[in-house]
Structure 1
Amino acid sequence: MSTANSLEAAYENSTGGASAGHKPPLALIAGPTASGKSDCAVALAQELERRGRRAVVVNADSSQVYADLTVLSARPTAEEMGGIEHRLFGAWDGTATCSAAQWARAAREAISAIHAEQAVPVLVGGTGLYIRTLLDGIAPVPQIAPDIREAVRALPVTEAYAALAIEDPERASRLAPADTTRIARALEVVRSTGQSIGYWQAQTSGGIGDQVSVHAAILLPERQALYGRCDMRFARMIERGALAEVEALLARDLDPDLPVMRAIGVPELAQVLRGETTLEEATARGSQATRNYAKRQFTWLRHQPPQEWTRIEFEYFDENSPRDRLFHVMGLT
């Protein structure tokens, strides 16, 4: 494969006016939790460095952004980073909420700085909203009126969907009748702003998708193998000190609605520390929550990203199975 389409290709330091083949590269590795994407990102960065091109891994996982969630977010250890610089890992304190817009702003700055250093950013994560906001921008939806939001979210999903079919039929036709979250969002937007959510999404701004050369790969392991990995991961978190991590969070007396307090494993293990359940029961619930999250990510990643992004499907979690194909996708073979 020609290096004009690979991560090794030369590029302009400034994106202004650059031809498509010379836009700064952005490697993107997405996948559900426990799919091995962090290891693949490090392997890719190491391969680039062996070829003389420095690489930096940039986090796109909504749990790994929090400093308080080292264990329960499976944030890479120093050993797992393999000598590769990592950015935006643990960059937010648990007292804050890292929204997609806030993360995208920080990611744009990090990616720009990496390009200025003539290095390759390797974006890795499974938070689709983060990735979409970074590349496509954010829709300028006005703030929703609180009374409208409260009324909409109180509706049974069947009633909300029926109302949406009348008030925004185009959006309703694209949603599953049981998709509670998206139906409520679309309905509250049209009722509060007088315009459909599609109208606002057509006016997105701030994305960098047209300024970089995206080299994207999505890891899609065989589902049962993935769920087995989810179970092993949660058990390993317990062994690595997840209980102590949750105990430290509880000692901070944080708002229970903060993302860091709702992260998978925190509510379950908090019940253990309060004497409300056993560690065995909490582990079973935490493992199930991890599998459920992986299933949602898997479905989103299979269908929502651009079709030209390569889906790497594999059955076994051996070291070379996804990596060889990943290197090919990135133009390194």
Structure 2
Amino acid sequence: MEKEIVVVTGPTASGKSATCDIIANDLNCRVINCDSKQIYRGVPILTDQPVPVRDIHKLYGYVEPTQNYSAGLWLQDVKREVQQAWDDNVLPVITGGSGMYINSLVNGISDIPAIDPEVRKTARNLLESLGNAAFYEALVARDSNAARLHHNNTHQILRAFEVLEQTGTSIFTWWERSPRIKPFENCEVLVLLPPRNKLYDKINRRFLTMMQTDAISEVKYLMSLNLPMHAPVMKAHGAPEIVQYLQGKIEFMEAVEIAQKNTRHYAKRQCTWFRTQLPCDTRFFSSQNEIIDHVLAQYASKYPKTHTQPHN
């Protein structure tokens, strides 16, 4: 059987996960996570993981919040899960909206030397003491190319600083020197882009629902781990605002409104990224039904639904 992969991506709250679960009802497939926050254990509500997680779901809630993790490690994990799906003759459906993970999936990762733990610790301590804005300015002062990075993308600016500190060379130079090798060849990328008003309404409603369930308890759990605010899991939508609320710095509704606004802005940046950074043969859809109809039309005859339990 031909080795095929379907990627269903889109901005936060666009309905990617629900779309894939509906597809899985009619297709023999495995749903593999491509969201950099949904990998973390103990925060299913905060990160909007599938509830309950079914046997078809892979790479959800399996990384400890305290663990150092990267797109490179995720790519190793996803290669394993994709190969297992192929071995089981089921279709791998990779879903999530993290640009860093999507980029590594469709374009590969440059071969940059491993960062020494002490260099990583020094960089993170400096970020913690300076804050994002001053840390970004210090990075750009040493590497003008870093101005191409967004100052609020903590992961990217931290990574750029670490590489510069470790090697003395800009991360952009490393990217140019080391041609990326695509991990998969036959990868169909489908993007769900609902109308903006519907997307923003979903974001607002979803965050209210999160706050009324266990999101606050999950953030209390993260705070009990004494994680720095720049830790990846602490960047989950709503986490910084809930921390401020729990610390008594802002009121409950203020936390809700700020988190909703920040998440809407993030979704807008995601939409721009999807339109400009994905392969030219990427297909865009405005509704769940359009994607579902397309996937079933393309793959249902090749991967008919069976009652065989997937590999665990």
Q: Distance in 1 between matches of 2:174 and 2:246?
A: 48
- Check if 1:30 corresponds to 2:9: yes
Shift of 1:109: 0.8
Aligned counterpart for 2:178 among listed residues 203, 221, 225: 203
- Counterpart among 117, 121, 124 of residue 92 in structure 2: 121
Structure 1 Cα separation of the partners of residues 171 and 254 of structure 2: 44
- Gaps spanning 5+ residues in structure 1: where? 1-10, 12-21, 49-53, 165-170
Calculate percent identity across the aligned residue pairs. Answer: 30
Query: 103, 109, 112: which is aligned to 2:74?
Result: 103
Partner secondary structure for residue 193 of structure 2: strand
2:188 pairs with 1:215? yes
Find the residue that maps to 1:221 and give its secondary structure: coil
Shift in Å at residue 31 of structure 1?
Answer: 0.5
- Kindly indicate whether the alpha-carbon contact (under 8 Å) linking 1:59 and 1:88 is maintained by their aligned counterparts in 2: yes
TM-score (normalised: structure 1): 0.74
Note if 1:137 corresponds to 2:126: no
CA distance in 1, matches of 2:255, 2:67: 26
Conserved 8 A contact 1:108-1:134: no
Deviation at 1:312, TM superposition (A): 1.3
CA distance in 2, matches of 1:255, 1:183: 16
Q: Find the structure with the greater CA-based Rg.
A: 1
Opposite residue 113 of structure 1, the aligned amino acid is Q
Q: CA deviation at 1:276?
A: 2.2
Q: Which residue of 2 aligns with 1:154?
A: 137
In the alignment of these two chains, the number of paired residues is: 285
> Judging changes above 3 Å, is the alpha-carbon distance between structure 1 residues 194 and 94 closer, same or farther for their aligned structure 2 residues?
closer
Residue identity matched to 1:137: G
271, 283, 289: which one aligns with 1:320:
289
Computed over aligned residues only, the root mean square deviation of the Cα atoms, in angstroms, reads: 3.4
1:230 aligns with 2:214: no
From 2, 13, 23, give the equivalent of 1:44: 23
Within 5 Å, give how 1:208-287 maps onto structure 2. Answer: 208-210=183-185, 213-287=186-260
Contact 2:35 2:96 in 1 (8 A): yes
Q: For the Cα contact (< 8 Å) 2:207–2:260, is it kept in 1?
A: yes
Q: Normalized against structure 2, the TM-score is what? A: 0.78
Check 1:109–1:205 CA distance in 2 against 1; reply closer, same or farther (3 A cut). farther
> Which residue matches 2:308?
none
Separation in 1, partners of 2:222, 2:173: 39
Q: Which amino acid aligns with 2:57?
A: H
The residue that corresponds to 1:58 in the other structure is: 32
Confirm or deny: 8 A CA contact 1:312 1:326 kept in the other structure: no
Match of 1:74 among 19, 38, 48: 48
Shift of 1:35: 0.5
Unaligned runs of 5+ residues in structure 2 are: 127-133, 302-312
User: In 2, distance between residues paired with 1:322 and 1:85?
Assistant: 19
Please state if 1:288 is matched with 2:267: no
Cα displacement (A) at 1:278:
1.4
- How far apart, in 1, do the equivalents of 2:173 and 2:59 lie? 31
Q: Pick which of 116-125 and 183-192 moved more.
A: 183-192
Instruction: Give the helix-richer structure, 1 or 2.
Output: 2
Q: Which amino acid aligns with 1:281?
A: E
Q: Is the Cα–Cα contact under 8 Å of residues 136 and 157 in structure 2 kept in the other structure?
A: no
1:211-252 residue CA offsets vs partner (Å, 9 max, x unmatched)? xx2122111111222111111110111122211111222223
1:68 Cα deviation after fit:
2.5
Describe the superposition over 1:42-66 as per-residue Cα deviations: whole angstroms up to 9, x where unpaired: 1222222xxxxx2110000011000
